[in-house]
Chain A
């Protein structure tokens, strides 16, 4: 594992886009020797970019280290990390999603070399800087384009999320995710998965649940309070009244903005970004309100899949999204079982009331 001692890679001057005869995707996979100082493209200004904040534990697999922290405490954890500094972590649940974002960036840079409307992935971890070198070495090893990070040494990363105009925050800590949601930042909890099926490397696919993810939980409340029939009735009656927005609406909007850039260059049919709505609503009745709501927001979704209550697994298996957002753990777990990277949006009426007084190891101030 090599590092660039003393090489300050200050990316100033004109952006250098990779102009080649190869397909853009091949460029993204081009092997760069970590020790070769290359002129990397400059990271975009936060206000122009679509910023994705990821915690260390979702970007990389740190299960073993997490165990050490939980069983032996912080000092041993840090000691272990420093001792294994040159040993890169293996990929975590958010890894393929981040790679796909970078591949989209490569294409965008080729089409719009001067634009800063790109994805910007920022590592937001409350690890101490002692672990920093191992994280940097791992980023180098996997050739990820992550130039910005905040290692807060135990402090809350939420303020930094706001300072970076974060559009989406992914973490393994549900408390931090909830905090982010409360601050109006789209966020979801990710879990380590046993099985991750292969996903496309030519197209970023993002799948969303509808209620309490893209939309508010107002309809879900009716379903819970009055049952399915009342829910259908209510939705039909209010078909033309747009639903209120949910926590992930802004992220869908950001994806749509980038999609339009591809359309502008004639890439509509084979757009490198594809979005999906995967909802328990039914096409026959309650689905209409969902579609009309999206339309009233000026948002498009490429495929709307109305399952009328059927399990989401088989559909997700067909779609193979890089990431799937749902507010119900039941669906998140179901998706994970078939190997879809699914994350939980802890928002709305479907959430269990937090238990008081239970020492939940998952939500301790473990480095994330």
Chain B
């Protein structure tokens, strides 16, 4: 059973142009036990939503009729959170978050709500949820556990999986990933090199400069120009990731 509530405070985006990003509500609000207090704590995804909103604001500044915008949808799939549905909605208003739709479903069919809402990217802190969504062909990513501090939306792409041999047919999830990246690339092109509200970062862990270079070229051929590039060539990833401060990390789940 899947139900969707539209947020009437927010202008709905153009369905065929917007980049639909779904986030699990438990990552946005930490509504504790019913203690009467209406205001919930903010979760790890909160700064991300603010960053997405800033990107939208800047896009509209460049072009008030811009339709390539982030369209944020909140997914609530656990029953506990569902009991808090009114609090979730009221907190959204309270914090001024530009969430256009609230989707409620059971744990078993949350992927259905993703597909129904044409979600381009699903963000969660739960690895299993991400894997499940991936299997259904929805591009998923894990939210950065540490709250990112930058105002700029920082998207880190772990690029080892960018180069696929042509022998393998692309999976539904890989196609979804590619189209999401193309959309991000287009958004990025709306801004100049400096003072962009979003930064695209390529990180290759294995391979050396050649594979990072090949990834840069492949992405460029898809219209995605990276701002930053890091070739680790086997060096540990974690120290570098903590410096990169991504809001979310795009990794090929099948590989990692």
Q: Which of B214-251 contact A (CB under 8 A)?
A: 214, 216-217, 225-236, 239-240, 243
Does any Cβ of B come within 8 Å of A155's Cβ?
Answer: yes
**Residues of chain B at interface, number, CB under 8 A:** 35
A155→B152 CA distance, assembly (Å): 13
Does any Cβ of A come within 8 Å of B1's Cβ?
Answer: no
Distance (whole angstroms) from the CB of B227 to the closest CB of chain A = 4
Distance (whole angstroms) from the CB of B239 to the closest CB of chain A = 4
Say yes or no: A160-B240 contact (C-beta < 8 A), given A6-B214, A75-B192, A133-B213.
yes
Say yes or no: A129-B216 contact (C-beta < 8 A), given A10-B211, A146-B209, A148-B231.
yes
Does any Cβ of B come within 8 Å of A298's Cβ?
Answer: no
Does any Cβ of B come within 8 Å of A74's Cβ?
Answer: yes
A153→B225 CA distance, assembly (Å): 12
Given contacts A129-B216, A129-B227, 20 further A-B contacts (CB under 8 A): A3-B210, A3-B213, A7-B214, A8-B210, A43-B235, A46-B235, A74-B194, A128-B227, A129-B202, A129-B225, A136-B213, A140-B209, A140-B210, A148-B209, A148-B232, A149-B212, A149-B230, A149-B231, A153-B201, A163-B243
Does any Cβ of A come within 8 Å of B193's Cβ?
Answer: yes
Chain A residues closer than 8 Å to B81, beta-carbon distance: none
Please give me the 3 A-B residue pairs with the lowest Cβ-Cβ distance, nearest first: A147-B208, A147-B233, A163-B239
Say yes or no: A45-B234 contact (C-beta < 8 A), given A4-B210, A159-B243.
yes
Q: Which of A5, A146, A148 contacts B217 (CB 8 A)?
A: A5
Contact assessment for A128 and B231 in the assembled complex, using a CB-CB cutoff below 8 Å: no
Say yes or no: A129-B226 contact (C-beta < 8 A), given A3-B213, A46-B235, A147-B231.
yes
Q: Which of B214, B235, B236 contacts A4 (CB 8 A)?
A: B214
Contact assessment for A151 and B230 in the assembled complex, using a CB-CB cutoff below 8 Å: yes
Does any Cβ of A come within 8 Å of B96's Cβ?
Answer: no
Contact assessment for B207 and A10 in the assembled complex, using a CB-CB cutoff below 8 Å: yes
Does any Cβ of B come within 8 Å of A152's Cβ?
Answer: yes
Chain A residues closer than 8 Å to B113, beta-carbon distance: none
Q: Which of B192, B193, B207, B232 contacts A8 (CB 8 A)?
A: B207
Does any Cβ of A come within 8 Å of B144's Cβ?
Answer: no
The interface centre, meaning the residue of A129, A151, A164 with most chain B CB atoms within 10 A of its CB, is A129
Distance (whole angstroms) from the CB of B42 to the closest CB of chain A = 26
Chain A residues closer than 8 Å to B201, beta-carbon distance: 153
Chain B residues closer than 8 Å to A75, beta-carbon distance: 192-193
A155→B194 CA distance, assembly (Å): 11
Does any Cβ of B come within 8 Å of A295's Cβ?
Answer: no
Does any Cβ of B come within 8 Å of A334's Cβ?
Answer: no
Chain A interface size band reads 35 or more
Distance (whole angstroms) from the CB of A217 to the closest CB of chain B = 31
A152→B156 CA distance, assembly (Å): 13
Chain A residues closer than 8 Å to B239, beta-carbon distance: 163
Q: Which of A99-140 contact B (CB under 8 A)?
A: 128-130, 132-133, 136-137, 139-140
Contact assessment for A150 and B230 in the assembled complex, using a CB-CB cutoff below 8 Å: yes
A150→B240 CA distance, assembly (Å): 10
Contact assessment for A74 and B193 in the assembled complex, using a CB-CB cutoff below 8 Å: yes
Give per-residue flags for A64-85: 1 if the beta carbon is below 8 A from chain B beta carbons, else 0: 0000000000110010000000
Does any Cβ of B come within 8 Å of A11's Cβ?
Answer: yes
**Interface residue ranges, A against B (CB under 8 Å):** 3-11, 40, 42-43, 45-46, 74-75, 78, 128-130, 132-133, 136-137, 139-140, 146-155, 159-160, 163-164
9 A-B contacts, Cβ less than 8 Å apart?
Answer: A3-B210, A42-B234, A46-B236, A75-B193, A129-B229, A136-B213, A136-B216, A149-B212, A160-B230
A45→B233 CA distance, assembly (Å): 9
Find the B residue at minimum CB distance from A4: B210
Contact assessment for B208 and A152 in the assembled complex, using a CB-CB cutoff below 8 Å: no
Does any Cβ of A come within 8 Å of B163's Cβ?
Answer: yes
Find the A residue at minimum CB distance from B202: A129
Does any Cβ of A come within 8 Å of B206's Cβ?
Answer: yes
Contact assessment for A136 and B240 in the assembled complex, using a CB-CB cutoff below 8 Å: no
Does any Cβ of A come within 8 Å of B199's Cβ?
Answer: yes
Contact assessment for A10 and B206 in the assembled complex, using a CB-CB cutoff below 8 Å: yes
Find the A residue at minimum CB distance from B243: A159
A152→B230 CA distance, assembly (Å): 8
Contact assessment for A151 and B229 in the assembled complex, using a CB-CB cutoff below 8 Å: yes
Distance (whole angstroms) from the CB of B247 to the closest CB of chain A = 16
A3→B208 CA distance, assembly (Å): 13
Distance (whole angstroms) from the CB of A3 to the closest CB of chain B = 6
Contact assessment for A7 and B210 in the assembled complex, using a CB-CB cutoff below 8 Å: yes
Contact assessment for B163 and A151 in the assembled complex, using a CB-CB cutoff below 8 Å: no
Distance (whole angstroms) from the CB of A138 to the closest CB of chain B = 11
A45→B211 CA distance, assembly (Å): 18
Distance (whole angstroms) from the CB of A82 to the closest CB of chain B = 9
Contact assessment for A3 and B192 in the assembled complex, using a CB-CB cutoff below 8 Å: no
A150→B226 CA distance, assembly (Å): 13
A10→B231 CA distance, assembly (Å): 12
Chain A residues closer than 8 Å to B207, beta-carbon distance: 8-10
A40→B211 CA distance, assembly (Å): 13
Distance (whole angstroms) from the CB of B231 to the closest CB of chain A = 5
Chain B residues closer than 8 Å to A163, beta-carbon distance: 239-240, 243
Contact assessment for A132 and B214 in the assembled complex, using a CB-CB cutoff below 8 Å: no
Contact assessment for A153 and B199 in the assembled complex, using a CB-CB cutoff below 8 Å: yes
Say yes or no: A6-B227 contact (C-beta < 8 A), given A74-B193, A136-B213.
no
Distance (whole angstroms) from the CB of B236 to the closest CB of chain A = 8
Find the B residue at minimum CB distance from A164: B235
Chain A residues closer than 8 Å to B230, beta-carbon distance: 149-151, 160
